[in-house]
């Protein structure tokens, strides 16, 4: 068996990586993968795609949908929320009022909970198949994005753009803490280690119009990834994957990034995010040859 370490970098953009020539991200082989677009929002959704990556099935099958982290467990409350969103979308002053009053906070104080983590997925994940495995901070699977957004102060896109300096600072601190935790977890026993970091997504949404900050962020994350790689056991196969890219107005772009630190024949490489689960399993069980 081969040890495989998967680094999920949310929103790592194929074209930005190529343009900046980030060697630590490009690795030996890199390619653009097809990703999943949510037909209602017209964009790829982080919550849907990471679950598709670890299960190998589309959202129609695993049932996690865009906005999952903010859904209420209570069906009545969720219905109420959907009605409010519809009104909000048509009326900006209602939107402003709701973002000030934050009625959700009130219901949370009463003990109502959101579905940031789904613990009863209807399909098996790669972690049910490969053992021992470590899954760290994977959205909806074991990372509650709603709680994360609360922590860094991300209320909405408009709000985040207005307060981007402080939100970016908090997101970076959170990312560095997660990296520290990753370095500790690496020392445990595993054949598959899968980690997800949200940081690049936050920065991309807030600074899509400031290429210098994007560049700085990519180079900094690259150094951190290099350090993680240096701490891995010898001969670990390292994959870097993203769920989607970013476009020039700060929205999710419909392609994802993939790279691997060993040479593999093109015919074995994944074409879509949905192929990653089987690709990783086949790598671990040595069903895919590695070229010298």
Nearer to Zn ion, 56 or 139 (CB): 139
Write down the least CB distance from residue 205 to Zn ion, Å. 6
Q: Is the dihedral of CA 134, 139, 144, 148 positive or negative?
A: positive
If binding is defined by CB under 5 A, does position 48 make contact with Zn ion? no
On whether the CB atoms of residues 66 and 45 are closer than 8 A, the answer is yes
Size of site (CB under 5 A) for Zn ion? 1
How far lies 46's CA from each of 41, 49, 184, 247, 261, in Å? 12, 5, 26, 15, 25
The least CB distance from residue 175 to Zn ion, in Å, is 14
Is residue 201 within the footprint of Zn ion (CB under 5 A)?
Answer: yes
String marking each residue 100-139 x if it binds Zn ion according to CB under 5 A: ----------------------------------------
Q: Token pair of 86, please? A: 């519809």
| Cα 72 from Cα 76, distance rounded (Å) | 9
143 binds Zn ion (CB under 5 A): no
Cβ atoms 48, 64 nearer than 8 A: yes
Instruction: Choose the binding region for Zn ion from 117-125, 127-135, 189-197, 199-207 (rule: CB under 5 A).
Output: 199-207
Scanning 111-119, 153-161, 178-186, 197-205 for contacts with Zn ion by CB under 5 A, the matching segment is 197-205
Our CB check for Zn ion shows the closer of 190 and 199 to be 199
Residue 11 gets the label, from left (phi > 0), alpha (psi -120 to 50) or beta, of: left
> Which positions ≥6 away from 111 have C-beta within 8 Å?
none
Least gap, CB of 252 to Zn ion (angstroms) = 6
Q: Under the rule (CB under 5 A), what is the footprint of Zn ion?
A: 201
């Amino acid at each position: 068996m081969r040890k495989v370490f998967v680094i999920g970098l949310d929103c790592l953009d194929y074209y930005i990586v190529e343009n900046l020539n980030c060697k630590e991200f490009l690795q030996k082989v890199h390619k653009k993968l097809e990703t999943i677009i949510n037909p209602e929002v017209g964009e790829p959704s982080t919550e849907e795609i990471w679950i598709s990556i670890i299960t190998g099935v589309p959202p129609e099958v695993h049932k996690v949908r865009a906005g999952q982290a903010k859904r209420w467990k209570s069906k009545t409350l969720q219905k109420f929320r959907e009605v409010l969103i519809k009104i909000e979308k048509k009326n900006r002053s209602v939107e402003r009022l709701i973002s000030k009053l934050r009625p959700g906070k009130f219901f949370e104080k009463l003990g109502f909970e959101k579905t940031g983590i789904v613990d009863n997925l209807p399909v098996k994940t790669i972690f049910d198949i490969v053992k021992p495995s470590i899954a760290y901070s994977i959205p909806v699977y074991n990372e509650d994005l709603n709680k994360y957004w609360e922590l860094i102060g991300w209320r909405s896109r408009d709000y985040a753009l207005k307060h981007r300096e402080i939100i970016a600072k908090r997101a970076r601190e959170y990312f560095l803490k997660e990296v520290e935790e990753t370095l500790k977890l690496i020392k445990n026993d595993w054949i598959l280690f899968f980690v997800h970091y949200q940081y690049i997504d936050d920065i991309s949404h807030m600074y899509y119009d400031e290429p210098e900050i994007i560049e700085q962020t990519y180079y900094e994350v690259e150094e951190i990834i290099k350090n993680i790689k240096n701490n891995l056991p010898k001969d670990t196969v390292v994959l870097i994957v993203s769920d989607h890219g970013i476009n020039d107005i700060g929205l999710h772009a419909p392609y994802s990034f993939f790279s691997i630190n060993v040479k593999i024949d093109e015919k074995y490489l994944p074409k879509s995010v949905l192929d990653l689960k089987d690709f990783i399993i086949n790598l671990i069980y040595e069903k895919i040859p590695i070229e010298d």
